[in-house]
Structure formats: C-alpha cells, structure tokens
Chain A
Amino acid sequence: QKEVEQDPGPLSVPEGAIVSLNCTYSNSAFQYFMWYRQYSRKGPELLMYTYSSGNKEDGRFTAQVDKSSKYISLFIRDSQPSDSATYLCAMSFSGGYNKLIFGAGTRLAVHP
C-alpha cells in the first residue's frame, strides 16, 4: 500500500464548475500537507500549505484536512481553463528538512 493515494483521473469539468481533488494517507505521523500544481512538462508550484485539521482558503482554492480520517482535499471554485493541470498532494513529517511524500497527481481538464 502506498503511503499517499491519489486518484490519477483524468478529471474533466466544464468551466465554472467546482472541482474536488482528494488524497488519502496511511501514516498518522504526517504533520504538514501541501497541494502543488504542475503544468505539462513544468516544475510543480506550491498552491496551498496547511498543518492542521480544518479548512484554509486562498482565493478560489480551499484546502481541507481531516487528520482523523487521514484525508485531504483541494476545492477549486469557479474553475477556469487555466486551471487545467496536474494537481499533486504532498505530505511531510515534522523535523529538519522538507522530505515530501507525493501523491501520483490528478490530471484536471477544464473545458470552455
């Protein structure tokens, strides 16, 4: 069993839809949770970062963490064609360096 499970998609939605992307994890020692966005053949860029259960909002993006269920989500409101990318969840333990464990990534396509 992988430490971090993420449905690879692809997920196709119409412009303006609310998108829900999810990851589950098995190790309760994970303390930090991140979402990265990766456009085709580019490096990932950090979208959201959180270290506690609950919701964190940034513009059209909301990150949700449920540590009791070992489940994290990223919601995108009013999705745009420019949101079409692969979304990677990532997690890390507490301690001295950023060793991240990544999910496989979900490919999202937002069509006009």
Chain B
Amino acid sequence: DGGITQSPKYLFRKEGQNVTLSCEQNLNHDAMYWYRQDPGQGLRLIYYSQIVNDFQKGDIAEGYSVSREKKESFPLTVTSAQKNPTAFYLCASSFPRTVGNEKLFFGSGTQLSVL
C-alpha cells in the first residue's frame, strides 16, 4: 500500500536530549513537509523540502533540523534548543504544485512528550 509512515507513534524526550522522528513515503512524491500541531492551534510548518538535498525553513524552524538524503525519507530532529517540544508532529508529502496535484498526504503523526 502506498502511503506515509511515521515512527514512532509516541516518543519521550529527556531534558537536553536530541530526538529524531522518522518519515518515509512510497508515493514517489517530490515534496515533503513537517508540521507541528498544538491543542487549539492550526498546523504550523517547521521545514519543507521540494527535492533531494534541498530544504527550507518554515514558520517555526528554530530548535529543529532536517535532512533529505533520499526522496523517500525526511527525518526531523528535535534538538535540545527546542524548549517546548511537546506536540503532535505530522509529516506530509505532495507532488509539486501543478493543477490537480495540490493534495497533501499526511502520515499518522508522532506524539512527542517531555519527561
């Protein structure tokens, strides 16, 4: 089945620790995104990548880092510099914008909590 796989489903971070969230897609999509969702707030864009080996900061990139070494994979690292990391993290992918290809496909998310 084609889709986006995020792992783990739940993740706990200790103070001062970096943690990495995995996102893999087999949809052959060029573009991939990371969003953060907090209760009562909309999704906010952390990073996005339109092609391999290239990525751009979104609206709330501070304290996060990403890599895009393969088309299928876009891992997100939450660094110790991110002081409020508790949130639901969503990975998404899409074809680049052309008419009819605007649909974002989302993974099932990772809930990150601080110990």
Contacts and interface: CB of A to CB of B under 8 A. Distances in A.
Contacts of B111: 41
B40 A44 contact: no
B97 A45 contact: no
B103 A49 contact: yes
B41 A104 contact: yes
Contacts of A88: 42-43
B106 A99 contact: no
A102 interface: yes
B50 A100 contact: no
A112 interface: no
Contacts of A92: 102
Interface size class of B (residues with CB under 8 A): 20 to 34
B43 A102 contact: yes
Given A44-B90, A104-B42, A98 B108 contact: no
A8 B58 CA distance: 24
Interface string B78-91: 00000000001010
A92 B102 CA distance: 10
A6 interface: yes
B114 interface: no
Contacts of A34: 102
Interface in A68-112: 88, 90, 92, 95-105
Interface in B16-56: 31, 33, 40-45, 48, 50
A4 interface: yes
A57 to B, nearest CB: 18
Interface of A: 4, 6, 8, 32, 34, 41-46, 49, 88, 90, 92, 95-105
